[in-house]
Every structure is written in C-alpha cells, then in structure tokens.
Amino acid sequence: MLTARLFRPLSQLPGKTLSLCDREKGTRRMQLLYSASPVPVSLRTYSDEVNPVGSKAVLVTGCDSGFGFSLAKHLHSRGFLVFAGCLMKDKGNDGVKELDSLKSDRLRTVQLNVCKSEEVDKVVEIVRSSLEDPEKGMWGLVNNAGISTFGEVEFTSMETYKEVAEVNLWGTVRMTKSFLPLIRRAKGRIVNISSMLGRMANPARSPYCITKFGVEAFSDCLRYEMYPLGVKVSVVEPGNFIAATSLYSPERIQAIANKMWEELPEVVRKDYGRKYFDEKIAKMETYCNSGSTDTSPVIKAVTHALTSATPYTRYHPMDYYWWLRMQIMTHLPGAVSDRIYIH
C-alpha cells in the first residue's frame, strides 16, 4: 500500500499547500506548494535582496545552452554585470551568438573550458581587468558547467568516469579555487549547481552521481571555511529537467549505447546479454523523455542565492514526486527506501 501511494502519478495527487517555513520579517516560514500537474513545486518564496545589484559582477559557467544560457540572460536583465563562460565560443555556438547579439556592455561571453587551467586563468584576468575596482572583488560565481551520461557500473569504462568527473567535479573545484580571491574580497557568493542525484543515487547513473555527491561535499566544506570570511555558499539541486536542457536526444542515447556495447569486455556482454542491455537503454529513453521543460524554478533559485541577504544552504527546484523521493531516500533506513524505489 505504501509503495502504491508513493508511486502514484502526480496527476492523481490532490493540490495542497504545506506550511513548512519561509523567511519574512525575521520569521521562518515556507509554503510548499504542489499541484496536480507535473511541474516543479515552489518550495520557497524569495523576497529579501541585496541592493544594488547593478555594480555587481557574476561569472556563470556553461552558458552555451540550458540553465547557464537562461541564467546569463536573466541576471543581465536584473542589472548584473555578467561574464558568460561558454565552451563553444570559439566555434560560434548558436547560444553564444544569441548572447552576443544583445550587444550589452553588461553581458560578455568568454571562451571557457573548465577542464583547462590556461583558459580558466585567462578568464580570471579578463574579469579582474573588467572590474571597476579589482580590490573590491567579484560578487558571484555560478558553477553550472556539467556533462552527463548513463550506464551500469559494468557497462561504464574508466575513461567515462574520468571524463564526467573532470568537468562536473574537478571543473567546479578548479573554478572555485581560481576565483576565490576575488569572491573573498567582495564577501560574495558561490553557487554550485548539483542535482537531486547528488543526494540520492540511482541505478545506471553512477558516473554522474559520483560527481554530484562530490560537489555536495565540496560545497559543504567550502561553506564551513568561508563563513567566517563573509562568503556565502549555496547548492542548487535540480530535479529532472532533461527535457529542458537537451542533455539527451534519442539519437545521443542510442549513440552512447552503441559505443558502450562495442567497448564492453566479452565476458560482460556474454553474462548480461543484449536483451538485458537493451531493456536498460529503453528505461533511460523513457526517463529522458520526461521531466519539466520550464527552467524558471532553477533560475529563481540561483538568483535568490546570489541576491538574498540570507541565502539558503540548499535549493530543491523539482516536482513533488522527486522531492518526496529525496526526503525518503535521505531520511529513512536504506532497507526501506530500497524496497520502495529500487527493488
């Protein structure tokens, strides 16, 4: 009965408002809103802000598309001086062209591969030289750049594990260490984009989960260390926004699957068989066709983390199903959550 209830589609859930907590006039209250439609729930209302934002500089990584692209445009509209780090700027990416087409002196795209120290160092100098007073530092860094893949542990090569970690985890660490001197001078903000899969693991997602769990731990350590220095560190944990971020197309899923199968050791192919392999790929395709196409909950969360006088430690822009699942998997004994969601 419990399993049946927890797996009920969102369309069958009655719309409700749960009073949990929010911040207003020094009190802590929150409205947890969830509706019958499968859209991200609004976990918090955002009101308190740091003013003015016009003189504040923010660097966002991974702005070629997805969250980063939308965030760069939104922060620019809010009055920030935005440096949009783009992996494909040198290749004339469409997202880069659209950002450049705004022709604003407050929005500048920069070539940035977070895996390359020389490109990171170059961007540090670009930002420093663009600030009115470098000694007052830079207000915000949003570590958004990331890649994803899938595959069970025996299906995933060590090269794939290393590739995903180099971007998602070590890229975040590299960017943070490089920009901390500027952030510290401004007593600014660091916002790391993690994932709900940085709090709860999932079959066939170990390369991604490992890196996002790492981002969570890194962010916590950094928050503890930066607190006495006046720097605030927040983590944003989006739910399923694959449909909105174009991480996976059917063609890309199939290309990854074909490459994975071809590179499998013979003993693994023989033991599992193609039928089992294809069933797992079909599940991944189903998951990738789901999720929200509206990125605004993520954008609002990052904006609040950058502008609030009292930003939250963690933000959970996700629909009610994933929010509930995350609470159960992180608060109940593993034997219980495994029984409900995994076995």
Q: What is the pLDDT of residues 215-231, one digit of tens each?
A: 999 999 999 999 999 99
Give the C-alpha separation, 192 to 211, whole Å. 12
Where does the pLDDT of residue 129 fall: very low under 50, low under 70, confident under 90, or very high at 90 and above?
very high
pLDDT at 54: 67
Of 144, 226, 232, the closest CA to residue 189 belongs to 232
At residue 2, does pLDDT exceed 80? no
Q: Mean pLDDT over all residues of the chain? A: 87
Average pLDDT over residues 303-311: 96
**Whole-prediction pTM:** 0.86
CA angle, residues 92, 259, 271, in degrees to nearest 5: 160
Catalytic residues: 208
Contact call for residues 181 and 231 (beta carbons, < 8 A): no
What would the two tokens of residue 296 be? 């605004």
Where does the pLDDT of residue 86 fall: very low under 50, low under 70, confident under 90, or very high at 90 and above?
very high
Give the C-alpha separation, 174 to 123, whole Å. 12
Name the percent of the chain lying above pLDDT 70: 84
Q: Give the rounded distance of the alpha carbon of 338 from its chain centre.
A: 25
Tokens 């802590």 correspond to 28
Mapping DSSP to helix (H, G, I), strand (E, B) and coil, where does residue 305 land?
A: helix
**Residue 277: CA count within 13 A, CB half-sphere:** 21
At residue 330, does pLDDT exceed 60? yes
At residue 31, does pLDDT exceed 50? no
Average pLDDT over residues 161-189: 98
Average pLDDT over residues 103-110: 96
Least confident of 40-49, 104-113, 158-167, 310-319: 40-49
What would the two tokens of residue 265 be? 């050791």
Mapping DSSP to helix (H, G, I), strand (E, B) and coil, where does residue 86 land?
A: strand
What would the two tokens of residue 22 be? 């929010």
pLDDT at 310: 95
Average pLDDT over residues 163-187: 98
**DSSP 8-class letter at 38:** S
Cis peptide before 52 (omega within 30 of 0): yes
Where does the pLDDT of residue 30 fall: very low under 50, low under 70, confident under 90, or very high at 90 and above?
very low
At residue 290, does pLDDT exceed 90? no
